[in-house]
């Protein structure tokens, strides 16, 4: 069943931890360095089917986004990103991703790979920097 469905987006609660970990774990994504209250969750019929978080440790970035495989392609991820974009008070929102097409559909623009080193310390120190598979994208949210 493809197409948009009725999705409720809300901030995660401590009691959502197991569901958040389960969905993130599907894609081998780690949540240890992100407080649960920094996540939003997407619910369909009371079931958590997607999670996303923004981090602003070095720059404001989409830390992670994951949608349960059954609900991919139904607008869940887009609704979560739209919610995060509306909640961010920074001028720009960045993302490092292996799925640039999704973010480009949301209005993000691909940046030169050299931007990674200027934005993130872990990229500067990574021994795979020259062979990195992640794209860097950005969207301007609030013009200064």
Q: By the 8 A CB rule, do 29 and 66 touch?
A: yes
Domain annotation covers residue 1: no
Give the CATH number of the domain where residue 136 resides.
3.40.630.30
85-135 pLDDT, tens per residue? Answer: 988 888 889 888 888 999 999 999 988 777 766 666 666 566 665 666 778
* Structural domains counted in the chain: 1
Domain annotation covers residue 3: no
Domain annotation covers residue 74: yes
5-49 pLDDT, tens per residue? Answer: 899 999 999 999 999 999 998 887 777 778 888 899 999 999 999
Structural domain including 14 reads 8-140
Domain annotation covers residue 2: no
Domain annotation covers residue 71: yes
**Total H helices, total E strands in the chain:** 5, 7
Q: By the 8 A CB rule, do 48 and 42 touch?
A: yes
Q: How far apart are CA 100 and CA 96, in angstroms?
A: 9
- Looking at residue 20, what DSSP letter applies? H
In sequence order, the 6+-apart residues with CB closer than 8 A to the CB of 134 are 96, 97, 98, 116
């Amino acid at each position: 069943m493809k197409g948009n469905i009725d999705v409720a987006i809300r901030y995660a609660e401590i009691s959502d931890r197991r569901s958040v970990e389960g969905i993130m774990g599907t894609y081998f994504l780690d949540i240890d360095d992100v407080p649960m209250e920094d996540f939003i969750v997407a619910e369909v019929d009371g079931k958590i089917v997607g999670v996303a978080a923004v981090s602003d440790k070095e720059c404001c970035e989409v830390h992670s986004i994951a949608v349960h495989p059954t609900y991919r392609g139904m607008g869940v991820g887009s609704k979560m990103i739209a919610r995060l974009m509306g909640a961010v008070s920074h001028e720009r929102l960045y993302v490092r991703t292996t799925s640039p097409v999704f973010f480009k559909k949301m209005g993000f623009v691909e940046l030169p790979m050299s931007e990674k080193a200027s934005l993130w310390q872990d990229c500067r120190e990574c021994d795979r920097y020259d062979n990195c598979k992640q794209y860097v994208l950005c969207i301007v949210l609030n013009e200064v």
